[in-house]
Amino acid sequence: MANIRTNDRTFLSAQFRRLSDEQCQKIHWASLEVLERTGVRLYDQEAIDLLKKAGVCASDGNRMRIPSGLVEKAFTTVPKRVTLCDRHGNRVMPVEGHRSFFGPGSDCLHIIDHRTGERRQPVLQDVVDGMIVADALPHVDFVMSMVLPMDVPPAVADRYQMEAMLNHTTKPIVFVTTEFSGCVDAVEMAEAVAGGPDALRLNPFVACYINVTTGLRHNQEALQKLLYLADKGLPALYIPVGLGGATAPITLAGCQVIWNVGALVGLVLSQLKREGAPYIMAGWGASALDMRTMVQPYAGPDRRGIAETLAHFYGLPMFALGGCSDSKCVDQQAGIEAALTLITTALSGGNIVHDLGYLESGLCYSLAQLAICDEILGWLEHFIRGVEVNDETLALDLIDEIGPDGQYLDSDHTLAHFRERWYPTIIERDNYDNWLAKGGKTLGQRAAERVEAILSEHRPEPLPKDVAQAVHAIVERAEAQQDQG
């Protein structure tokens, strides 16, 4: 029997975008206009010299007006995909297209202790515990340091964070450092683990998240890190911000222009330093102050999906944001906002999505909230993926065989396919009596119990002893230099 079909279209995933190509083009053109007309201030001489060598004239010392041609040229050399590896060099995160990978954030000033519910200052052991939990959770793809430990010298806290991440997970690492020297030390640690600079460049398992003052003002440390990483051939996540109502226009489009201008500056500089250097742009933007509280909200709806669509318009990998909440504790608001930010970011095709487990607008961390985000991601994985529609899944012969009066509980078809449905780990959907018999616990309580179980049972693969010693020696060297300075 012939089985010829034409125009049989299939959605392999859910479909969504916030902006049209025409809207993206307008934001791009507006960004080029700002670069040429208004210009940006650069606070690093090497960055200024690179632009001067490319024909850009400086005014007022460090104000650079960058012509559109340099931007367009940079797009011809920058890689359109970046692959991050695990500690063993396995290429586990191909950052491309609309593929999404998820992980926590970094440097929170407080943590909610999952054992006591207390909001307190974090210590180094919290970073270690966070890595163990993240290493075990199946939908956490990469790690960040989560909290800023207060029981180590502040000037070298970033080295202690990096050491903890390297020692307690094999997953890819996105690191943050306070100063340029910390970035150099973090890369040296990673090279010690990878087996040298060439090995790390070939199979990078680390990337640096660089905070930039604003899209129009690029601080020295950020530019130094960007150019250093470009020279090394390592991925840089270059994130210039603009805060609507403060350092950028309050309108979504105007605020996004400030973010985008900064991203294009980083793009140009990275390619001037080394053509083909991997570059990852901001996949969130158009932020604004809450004019009632003067807090910068993490989970507001207005900006969702804008920066992600623009990054896809450029065809560049992006660093996105989701799984966060402005709530002060693990409560209903935290669950709602984590779910909403994750679903909008995932539908928008955010690539490297960080901030899982963030509370209090990025000031507080919770491992229980991280476990809840992991559960949400399991749900989303089943929602976003495509629906298999074929003879096997339509099951017309089975329907006819069982007929109007039969049931499907004991059929081979049910046995073969029931595991394809989603089954939760900590979300409760038993009947009421069984829920009570298990203690009648809330989601927050069940999430805290899962965290504690992981910490009791999971043992991440350690670094070889000699490598761990080499990594720690870099931490000790940095601490000694601070003491001498």
175-230 tens-digit pLDDT: 999 999 999 999 999 999 999 999 999 999 999 999 999 999 999 999 999 999 99
118-171 tens-digit pLDDT: 999 999 999 999 999 999 999 999 999 999 999 999 999 999 999 999 999 999
pLDDT, position 6: 62
Q: How far is Cα 278 from Cα 205, in angstroms, rounded to an integer?
A: 13
Q: How far is Cα 283 from Cα 318, in angstroms, rounded to an integer?
A: 5
Q: Mean pLDDT, to the nearest integer, of 264-272? A: 98
Q: How far is Cα 400 from Cα 268, in angstroms, rounded to an integer?
A: 63
401-452 tens-digit pLDDT: 999 999 999 999 999 999 999 999 999 999 999 999 999 999 999 999 999 9
pLDDT at 81 over 80: yes
Q: Mean pLDDT, to the nearest integer, of 377-384? A: 94
pLDDT, position 4: 67
Plot region of 416 (φ>0 → left; ψ -120 to 50 → alpha; else → beta):
alpha
Q: How far is Cα 123 from Cα 149, in angstroms, rounded to an integer?
A: 4
pLDDT, position 285: 92
Q: Which two tokens stand for residue 134?
A: 């993240």
Q: What DSSP character marks residue 460?
A: P
Longest CA pairwise span in the chain (Å): 84
To the nearest 5 percent, what fractions of the chain are helix, strand and coil? 45, 15, 40
Task: List the CATH code of the domain at 76-384.
Answer: 3.20.20.480
335-356 tens-digit pLDDT: 999 999 999 999 999 999 999 9
pLDDT at 78 over 70: yes
pLDDT, position 13: 81
pLDDT, position 351: 97
Q: Please enumerate in sequence order all residues whose Cβ is within 8 A of that of 387, keeping only pairs 6 or more positions apart, or say none.
A: 11
Q: Mean pLDDT, to the nearest integer, of 229-242? A: 97
Over pLDDT 70: what percentage of the chain? 98
Q: How far is Cα 87 from Cα 389, in angstroms, rounded to an integer?
A: 39
pLDDT, position 3: 63
Measured from the Cβ of residue 213, the count of other Cβ atoms closer than 10 Å reads: 17
pLDDT, position 15: 82
Q: Mean pLDDT, to the nearest integer, of 250-255? A: 96
382-396 tens-digit pLDDT: 999 889 999 999 999
Confirm if 468 and 189 have CB atoms less than 8 A apart. Answer: no
**Domain spans of the chain, in order of start:** 76-384, 391-420
**Cα separations (Å) of 398 from 361, 391, 401, 416, 421?**
52, 11, 5, 13, 19
